[in-house]
């Protein structure tokens, strides 16, 4: 199965960037920062490459094959405008966050607490940890593990990237961040923006993260269980009604949780299949490769919050269980 970029930015950015954010920080001439990317997959590698090209010290922390490739040849960054090798540091050890001013936290949601525990002894007081992940509660979970002197801010990511192989990241489009306020958010936003990563600060990050959660909950599990891309998936009789019912459960939980979701989520959900008909969900790709999925932090999170708030979520629960069964088999459904 081909590797596809994340789809969420394609529709979400058009609905939420203008309504949930304050003006972008202006470029700054302040000294360069030291960045560590914890969980250097496609998203972290893309942003890390741009920061390194802008003169910041960047260390990627990832899997051995990826780290070796970066150490030997630098990180290959391929976009529509360039194909370059970017020299930067790389490590397999969480201790490499030592000395960082900012950590771009990009591990899978299921690994958040473990990765935070690994980092904790090596973080200097005041280091800003930005969570660039799927799901809506990673910042809370990371904050609960780290020392009180370490600020943690959630980020909404609007970018399409994919790994082209070890040491090779491919950019397909966009590249903005919206981050929550913190004592260091303004200064970091200025540096990110100056590096070519338009960054805005918003009090409404939670609502935007929930909007992405609704989209992921609507499509990821169905694409995974059927091993179908979005276009053919919605052509099967009954699927669009099932998706509408999944979304209704998600929105009921969000409302009970006091979350205001910006934009027209229903329109965003309807547009996915026509905008990206050939795309498989990340959950489908994980199952096809025999990898653990993030289902517990997608549909599973809706189920968990629904149970806590007394909101029934039978469809989301069924999808969570079915994906877990497929995961346990180690093969796609």
Phi, psi of 203, rounded to the nearest 5 degrees: -85, -5
Q: How far apart are CA 292 and CA 110, in angstroms?
A: 9
Q: How far apart are CA 135 and CA 12, in angstroms?
A: 15
Q: What does the block give as tokens for 184? A: 């260091």
Listed residue (121, 123, 71, 117) closest to 97, CA to CA: 123
Question: 57: helix, coil or strand?
Answer: strand
Task: Considering the candidates 108, 212, 291, 324, report the single residue annotated as catalytic.
Answer: 212
What Å distances lie between residue 131 and 37, 107, 154, CA to CA?
10, 9, 5
CB 92 within 8 A of CB 121: no
* 131-136-137 Cα angle (round to 5): 75
Cβ contacts of 15-18, under 8 Å, gap ≥ 24: 15/211, 15/262, 15/263, 15/264, 15/265, 15/267, 15/268, 16/156, 16/178, 16/208, 16/211, 16/262, 16/263, 17/158, 17/176, 17/178, 17/200
CB 75 within 8 A of CB 88: yes
Q: Is residue 212 annotated as part of the catalytic site, yes or no?
A: yes
Residues acting as catalytic residues: 212
């Amino acid at each position: 199965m081909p590797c596809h970029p994340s789809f969420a930015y394609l529709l979400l950015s058009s609905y939420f960037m203008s309504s949930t954010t304050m003006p972008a920080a202006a470029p700054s001439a302040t000294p360069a920062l030291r960045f560590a990317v914890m969980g250097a997959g496609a998203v972290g590698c893309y942003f890390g490459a741009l920061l390194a090209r802008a003169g910041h010290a960047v260390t990627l922390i990832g899997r051995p094959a990826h780290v070796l490739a970066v150490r030997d040849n630098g990180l290959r960054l391929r976009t529509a405008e360039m194909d370059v090798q970017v020299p930067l540091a790389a490590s397999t050890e969480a201790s490499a966050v030592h000395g960082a001013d900012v950590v771009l936290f990009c591990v899978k949601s299921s690994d958040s607490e473990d990765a935070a525990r690994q980092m904790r002894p090596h973080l200097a007081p005041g280091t800003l940890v930005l969570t660039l992940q799927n799901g809506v509660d990673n910042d809370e979970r990371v904050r609960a593990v780290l020392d009180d002197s370490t600020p943690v801010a959630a980020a909404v990511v609007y970018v399409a990237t994919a790994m082209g192989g070890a040491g090779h990241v491919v950019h397909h489009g966009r590249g903005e961040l919206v981050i929550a306020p913190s004592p260091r958010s303004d200064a970091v936003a200025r540096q990110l923006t100056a590096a070519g990563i338009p960054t805005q600060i918003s009090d409404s990050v939670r609502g935007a993260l929930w909007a992405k959660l609704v989209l992921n909950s609507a499509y990821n599990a169905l694409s995974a269980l059927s091993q179908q891309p979005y276009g053919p998936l919605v052509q099967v009789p009954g699927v669009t009604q099932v998706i509408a019912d999944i979304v209704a459960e998600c929105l009921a939980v969000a409302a009970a949780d006091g979350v205001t979701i910006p934009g027209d989520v229903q329109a965003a959900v309807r547009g996915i299949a026509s905008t990206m008909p050939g795309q498989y969900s990340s959950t489908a790709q994980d199952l096809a490769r025999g990898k653990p999925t993030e289902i517990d932090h997608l549909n599973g999170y809706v189920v968990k919050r629904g149970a806590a708030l007394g909101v029934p979520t039978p469809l989301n629960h069924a999808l969570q269980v079915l994906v877990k069964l497929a995961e346990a088999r180690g093969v796609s459904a």
